[in-house]
């Protein structure tokens, strides 16, 4: 295929309730060609386009872990580079963009929409643009009006990241081969806490399987159900359904049907009532299975954009320090520095937590903690999400507080992965309680060893009880804050 395609990407999931601004320093900066063969969305895009023997021009790929609002200079400089590439190296027959889809800055609520719109203005109306997104993207009308194809993950936990990039690339290639498709967009004014649902079971799985069957039958070419990342605080905020098909009538019909069925799941997607930390501790003490109870500390999940410096679970465990085998983690640079200065085997009092976001948490005082081990904090992830990839927690100190083992790190990376503990001498399988700072992704790795997962009401920038959060810009109505009905669903439309 003698076609030219430009590819670039920027990925960051924003929590508006995280007070720490995401500067360029937290981003990994690649040329897209460097990500060939990797298992992310960019790898899926690049591999598929490269295999098609098109002329590829590689732009920048920026990526950061979920965190606070992005510094405007980061995305504006990225966009400036993209537009400069298009002007200097184009014209291009197609554009491929990899973006998370739930990125906001200090001044811009819809960074991804702004980028797609600017690229559209630069290349004109005839050049197809394909975008790949996380399942938790907040897909706005601006994105839908300017991108020809938008593909999101189907799975949560996210086990199809690479495949999502492949899907978007294939739609772009088909378009360039003369098989242009229509994409319909429908929006549902609802959000749900990310800990509360999964695509591995229940009605959401059934809905996705029905849509996949339509793709397999050839009725539609692609679909995505977007559960909007709930810790944004923006004026245009909704879950969305996108359907790609050969004709507008089919795309809109299927999108409207999927949107109605998605709407019908709004209560189920909120999950069961949360447990308190004390209730989970009591379950762990009463558990006789020989497997650990997993306390899901989703409110302080780095993957959801929190700061990981909450020691609230540890504080609740301290009265049981001599009777419960537990594993907990916390980010705390001063505590790590103290542990390294004292050395292995030393016993000392520590103050843990609230060093990154003191407005969200309070410090916890721990007496007579023994420094069990000290580490350089890079480790290989066990997966299945990210299996074989590397995570880096900076320096790590493991503190022994009675029977409680505390993973104290400079950076809490890879918290969802079981090797976050195992790589530093803490084996969750032999604990009664394991506290994991993640939402749903942890289940992929912990299910084989866990007695049960307990979604827990804890503090953090990714608060699990959405109605307790201080939204300032959200639209009305928006479920679960206000009840909605089918009439509130934005009917499917093909903008292009």
Q: What confidence tier does 266 reach under pLDDT thresholds 50, 70, 90?
A: very high
Phi and psi angles of residue 78, each rounded to the nearest 5 degrees, phi first: -60, -50
CA distance 43 to 45: 5
Given this model, what pLDDT does residue 89 score? Answer: 97
| DSSP H/E element including 260 | helix 248-264
288 has pLDDT over 90? yes
User: Could you tell me the sign of the dihedral formed by the alpha carbons of 454, 459, 460, 461, in that order?
Assistant: positive
Given this model, what pLDDT does residue 303 score? Answer: 86
Given this model, what pLDDT does residue 293 score? Answer: 98
249 has pLDDT over 80? yes
Residue pLDDT, tens place only, 161-192: 999 999 999 999 999 999 999 999 999 999 99
Given this model, what pLDDT does residue 384 score? Answer: 87
| DSSP H/E element including 394 | strand 390-401
> What integer is the mean pLDDT of 22-28?
94
Residue pLDDT, tens place only, 50-98: 999 899 999 999 999 899 999 999 999 999 999 999 999 999 999 999 9
Residue pLDDT, tens place only, 449-462: 999 999 999 999 99
> What integer is the mean pLDDT of 260-270?
97
Q: Which two tokens stand for residue 433?
A: 């309680």
Residues 6+ apart with CB under 8 A from 263: 188, 190, 484, 486, 489
Q: What is the pTM of this model?
A: 0.91
Given this model, what pLDDT does residue 388 score? Answer: 87
Burial (Cβ within 10 Å: 0-12, 13-18, ≥19) of residue 389: middle
Given this model, what pLDDT does residue 376 score? Answer: 95
Residue pLDDT, tens place only, 306-365: 999 999 999 999 999 999 999 999 999 999 999 999 999 999 999 999 999 999 999 999
Q: What confidence tier does 205 reach under pLDDT thresholds 50, 70, 90?
A: very high
Given this model, what pLDDT does residue 383 score? Answer: 83
436 has pLDDT over 90? yes
Q: What confidence tier does 129 reach under pLDDT thresholds 50, 70, 90?
A: very high
242 has pLDDT over 90? yes
Q: What confidence tier does 151 reach under pLDDT thresholds 50, 70, 90?
A: very high
Terminal Cα-to-Cα distance of the chain (whole angstroms) = 24
Residues 6+ apart with CB under 8 A from 43: 35, 36, 37, 162, 165
Residues 6+ apart with CB under 8 A from 428: 292, 294, 327, 418, 421, 422, 434, 446, 449
Q: Are 15 and 231 in contact (CB under 8 A)?
A: yes
Percent of the chain with pLDDT over 70: 100
The average confidence (pLDDT) of the chain is 96
Given this model, what pLDDT does residue 190 score? Answer: 98
CA distance 174 to 42: 19
Given this model, what pLDDT does residue 74 score? Answer: 97
Q: Which two tokens stand for residue 124?
A: 């004109």
Given this model, what pLDDT does residue 385 score? Answer: 81
> What integer is the mean pLDDT of 7-24?
96
Given this model, what pLDDT does residue 387 score? Answer: 85
Given this model, what pLDDT does residue 36 score? Answer: 94
Residues 6+ apart with CB under 8 A from 88: none
């Amino acid at each position: 295929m003698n076609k030219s395609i430009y590819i670039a990407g920027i990925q960051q999931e924003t929590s508006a309730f995280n007070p720490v601004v995401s500067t360029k320093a937290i981003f990994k900066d690649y040329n897209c060609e460097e990500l060939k063969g990797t298992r992310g969305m960019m790898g899926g895009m690049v591999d598929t386009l490269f295999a098609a023997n098109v002329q590829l021009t590689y732009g920048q790929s920026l990526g950061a872990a979920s965190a606070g609002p992005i510094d405007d200079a980061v995305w504006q400089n990225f966009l400036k580079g993209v537009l400069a590439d298009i002007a200097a190296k184009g014209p291009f027959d197609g554009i491929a963009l990899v973006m998370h889809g739930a990125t906001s800055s200090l001044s811009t609520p819809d960074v991804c929409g702004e980028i797609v719109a600017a690229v559209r203005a630069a290349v004109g109306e005839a050049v197809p643009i394909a975008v790949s997104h996380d399942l938790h993207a907040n897909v706005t009308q601006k994105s839908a009006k300017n991108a020809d194809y938008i593909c999101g993950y189907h799975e949560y936990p996210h086990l199809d990241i690479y495949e999502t990039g492949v899907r978007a690339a294939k739609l772009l290639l088909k378009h360039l081969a003369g098989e242009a498709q229509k994409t319909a967009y429908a929006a549902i004014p609802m959000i749900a806490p990310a800990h509360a649902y999964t695509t591995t079971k229940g009605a959401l799985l059934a809905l996705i399987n029905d849509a996949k069957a339509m793709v397999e039958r050839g009725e539609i070419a692609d679909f995505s159900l977007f559960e909007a990342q709930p810790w944004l605080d923006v004026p245009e905020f909704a879950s969305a359904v996108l359907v790609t098909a050969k004709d507008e009538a089919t795309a809109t019909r299927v999108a409207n049907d999927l949107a109605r069925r998605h709407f019908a799941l709004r209560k189920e997607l909120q999950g069961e009532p949360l447990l308190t930390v004390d209730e989970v501790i009591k379950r762990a003490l009463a558990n006789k299975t020989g497997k650990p109870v997993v306390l899901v500390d989703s409110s302080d999940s780095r993957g959801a954009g929190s700061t990981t410096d909450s020691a609230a679970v540890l504080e609740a465990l301290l009265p049981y320090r001599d009777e419960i085998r537990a594993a907990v983690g916390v980010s705390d640079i001063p505590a790590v520095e103290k542990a390294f200065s004292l050395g292995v085997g030393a016993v000392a009092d520590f103050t843990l937590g609230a060093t990154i976001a003191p407005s969200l948490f309070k410090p916890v005082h721990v007496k007579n903690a023994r420094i069990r081990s000290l580490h350089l904090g890079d480790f290989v992830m066990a997966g299945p999400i990210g299996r074989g990839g590397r995570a880096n927690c900076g320096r790590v100190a493991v503190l022994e507080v009675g029977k409680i083992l505390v993973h104290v790190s400079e950076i809490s990376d890879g918290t969802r992965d079981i090797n976050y503990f195992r790589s530093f001498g803490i084996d969750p399988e032999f604990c009664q309680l394991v506290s994991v700072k993640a939402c749903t992704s942890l289940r992929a790795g912990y299910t084989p060893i866990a007695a049960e997962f307990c979604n827990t009401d804890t503090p953090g920038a990714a608060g699990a009880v959405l109605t307790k959060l201080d939204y300032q810009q959200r639209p009305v109505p928006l479920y679960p804050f206000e009840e909605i009905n089918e009439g509130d669903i934005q009917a499917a439309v093909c903008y292009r």
